[in-house]
A and B are shown apart, each in its own frame.
Chain A
Amino acid sequence: MHELSIVASVVESVTETLASYPGAQVLEVRLKVGAMASVVVDSLEFCWGIATEDTPLEKTKLVVRTVPVVIYCTTCGRDVELEGVQSLRCPVCGEITMDIRQGRELEIESIEIEEAPAEIGARTGTSGAQA
């Protein structure tokens, strides 16, 4: 049950990012979680409500995208997606490998925010040059 620690880290990172966008509201936080990250998505979602309470992220949506394990098989000479996480054996040729190309991710991909147009200039400090 380290999902609570994990979402607490997400809240911390996103809150820090928000400092660069004064007045902005977060609508959605998007995570990418690999099949071999040892994280239970349901628990992440459950803990999200607890971890965001009384923070600027309260009532925001957590979207978790899970990705399967992908190995590079030298025999097949290409990336191969695995169905499970119990074996690193290539399902095509049976060769075993430690070359994991995907599946360990535990990342914040992006956040969706809503910001007031009047504050864009204030944020960049370039008198609306980017507006």
Chain B
Amino acid sequence: MTTRIVELRQGILKKNDELARGLRGRYTTAGVLVLNLVSSPGTGKTAFLERTLRDLRARGLRVAALVGDLETDNDARRLAASGAPVRQINTHGICHLDAEMIDKHLLGWEGVDLAGLDYLFIENVGNLVCPSSYDLGEKIRVALLSVTEGEDKPLKYPTLFNSADAAVITKVDIADAVGFDRETALKNINEIRPGIRIFETSAKTGVGMEGWLDYLLQEQSRAKA
């Protein structure tokens, strides 16, 4: 018997990355801007997305959403109230979405054709760790953080914030009541992801939504270009 070392030097998530690259190509060809929303459970991703879908639709834009959860289609039903096509992805215990799940759920999605969309939002499973490893082919990864979670979230979960293209602080309408230290939160985000665009919003009152929508419009026109 002989022993030998076989050098592989390959990414563990190579298959996911290859699938994601394929998806990214399809999104680009279709001219649809795809965003992957990631946060802890309870940050208010669904409320924020509900409002975003409604506001974009009010401007005549074509939007759709894929929403990941371990179980239930509660979020899909909430989001569907906006009038946008929404499809639930139940991961049945898996703590993140991967490119294969996205690929499968884009197939046979009745009434939805990527080329007929301006925006596709992917609401990831509530988790700040695992989704950071899985590329879904998105153009923009959005890390969300609510004022109730503490200013040190970006320090505790640096990978996700580092891999994000934009950060959204949610529930700012209750920031004073919960003693949110805004300066520290912004500083912490910038320590791990210098120069990132940060939006301070409230889906409830609508504060900050204007700036967020302007950003989406700008990015979408770039995606079309």
The chain A residues found within 8 Å of chain B, CB to CB, are: 1-2, 5-6, 9-10, 12-14, 17, 21, 27, 31, 36-39, 85-89, 96-98, 100, 106-117, 120
- The answer to whether A116 touches B1, judged by C-beta atoms less than 8 angstroms apart, is yes
In this complex, what residue of A is CB-closest to B132? A38
- The answer to whether B1 touches A115, judged by C-beta atoms less than 8 angstroms apart, is yes
Chain B residues whose CB sits within 8 angstroms of the CB of A96 once the complex forms:
190-191, 194
Interface of A is mostly: mixed
The chain B residues found within 8 Å of chain A, CB to CB, are: 1-16, 94-96, 98, 129-130, 132-134, 155, 157-160, 162, 190-195
Interface of B is mostly: mixed
- The answer to whether B12 touches A13, judged by C-beta atoms less than 8 angstroms apart, is yes
Chain B residues whose CB sits within 8 angstroms of the CB of A9 once the complex forms:
12-16
Chain A residues whose CB sits within 8 angstroms of the CB of B5 once the complex forms:
110-113
When A and B form their complex, what is the total count of cross-chain residue pairs whose Cβ atoms lie within 8 Å?
Answer: 111
Chain A residues whose CB sits within 8 angstroms of the CB of B158 once the complex forms:
36, 85-86
Given A98-B195, A108-B10, A115 and B95 contact (CB-CB distance below 8 Å): no
- The answer to whether B7 touches A85, judged by C-beta atoms less than 8 angstroms apart, is no
Given A2-B95, A85-B158, A111-B5, A106 and B193 contact (CB-CB distance below 8 Å): no
Q: Tell me, rounded to whole Å, the shortest Cβ–Cβ distance linking A92 to chain B.
A: 16
Q: A111: which of B8, B96, B130, B162 is its contact (CB, 8 Å)? A: B8
Q: Tell me, rounded to whole Å, the shortest Cβ–Cβ distance linking B197 to chain A.
A: 14
Chain A residues whose CB sits within 8 angstroms of the CB of B94 once the complex forms:
2, 5
- The answer to whether B12 touches A117, judged by C-beta atoms less than 8 angstroms apart, is no
